[in-house]
Amino acid sequence: MLKASINKFDNEIKIYTSKSFNDFRGQLWTSWDHKIIKLNFNHDKFSLSKKNVIRGFHGDKKTWKLISCVYGKILFVVVNFKPKSKKYLSHQSFILSDKNKKTVLVPPNYLNAHLCLTEQCLFHYKLSYKGKYNDVKEQFSIPWNDKKINYKWPIKKPILSYRDKND
């Protein structure tokens, strides 16, 4: 069963928690139910990272992202990237893990980034958009340590991709 909760930071960001079914074989849980999250998803992506990897701030103008961590634990950060919003560049962070079964729905015009907190973590994106997918070249990307966003990561020397080092 998937349960929605109210987000006081920004009512456009939705948080869902799933109860798991546990037995001698392991666990089973739901991350999306079309009756609760009424979006048509186009495709899914997975990102496997090792500890201390930051995958930097990125987003676009049309994609909804349903984010979960299906293995391990991540620090997930969402930033309002709508220049006309009163909350422009404000941010909120969440701990997502295979233990807490939280899922975050991020709307278009928001940035997201995450830090892997465990030896490995498996990050899951469910993507919903109209038309063609906005890949790397059509996305906006902001440095992980951008001074305007001023997010205080709990790490000084993360492992970064070439893109995240040079944005």
Residue-range domains of the chain with CATH: 39-166 (2.60.120.10)
Which two structure tokens, joined as six digits, stand for 34? 């079309």
Size of the chain, expressed as the number of residues it contains: 167
CA distance 150 to 144: 9
pLDDT recorded at residue 117: 98
Burial (CB < 10 A; 0-12, 13-18, 19+), residue 136, is exposed
pTM: 0.90
What is the pLDDT tens value at each position of the chain, 167 positions in all? Answer: 667 776 666 788 898 888 888 888 887 878 888 888 889 999 999 999 999 999 999 999 999 999 999 999 999 999 999 999 999 999 999 999 999 999 999 999 999 999 999 999 999 999 999 999 888 888 999 999 999 999 999 999 999 988 787 75
Give the DSSP H or E segment for 3: strand 2-5
